[in-house]
Amino acid sequence: MHSTFRTPGGVTLGVEHFGDPAAPLVLLAGGPTMLSWPDALCVALAGGGRHVVRYDLRDSGASTTVDPETPGYTLRDLAADAVALARGLDDRPAHLAGIGVGGMVAQVAALDHPGAFAALTLTGTRPVAPGPVDPDLPDHDAAAMRRLFALPSPDWSDRTAVADRAAAAAAILGDDPAAARVRAGRVFDRTPGTEPAVQLANQVGTVFSRLDCRPRWRERLPGLALPTLVVHGRRDPFFPLGNGEALAREIPGARLLVLDEAATAIPDAAADEVAAAMLAL
């Protein structure tokens, strides 16, 4: 079921619900649209008795769009959106999950608003903001990034061209090109407005490099007191596995689940395994 949620700050979030009202599980996007969380995982989590809610971040999908090229908000504003949504769903603390850069937002939300959440899942992410990486963390795979950035920019208003570009990027990153093509078409179809090019271009992640991500939060991770699951693809060239290993080391009691056949995306074949680990928190 699709709906919208308006935060106290006046931001409208496009939301999709799975399952009956129950303990809430909020999925924080990393693409930044909600479709970075696969349908198969949402269904599996709902089947485990959770009220699963995935949503679009600002400037994407059905959420408030102002100026995707020059976002007037910070990483902490995105964290506050997640907190407002979680509290609006249920009086009980929610399980918060973040994927990719959304995992960075989830870390900030859990650190800044610990009472809002009962558990935390961090998928394919790292403990520092976009930009220069700490020397002990593996950076993006240089060869993969050269190939990725060498891809020609498509006509972002052409659905087929956008889908083709997504499939080519997925092949470089080690993800399933066919699944990426389908997902890109779905993102295109639900991108509103008369100028989808700006939104879609920013959904490859460039918008996050423009956000104010200060102050650092990595040094605060040992103070997290939430049951935490860290999920990471062994073949992830964007945020290599060492980033997930660092998160699992630095968050007390965190469990690390390594998906041997995954890269940056959660494959449908791993949905049941990931869901079982999340539900066990």
* Dist CA 146 CA 233 (whole Å): 20
The fold adopted by the segment(s) 2-139+195-279 is: Rossmann fold (3.40.50)
Q: Is 51 exposed, middle or buried (0-12, 13-18, 19+ CB in 10 A)?
A: buried
Average pLDDT of the segment spanning 108-119: 93
Q: Six-digit token pair at 269?
A: 């074949």
* CA 223-229-232 angle, 5° bins: 115
Lowest mean pLDDT among 70-79, 82-91, 230-239: 70-79
The pLDDT value recorded for residue 27 is: 87
- Are 56 and 33 a contacting pair, CB within 8 Å? yes
Average pLDDT of the segment spanning 126-144: 92
* Three-class SS state of 178: helix
- pTM beyond 0.85: the answer is yes
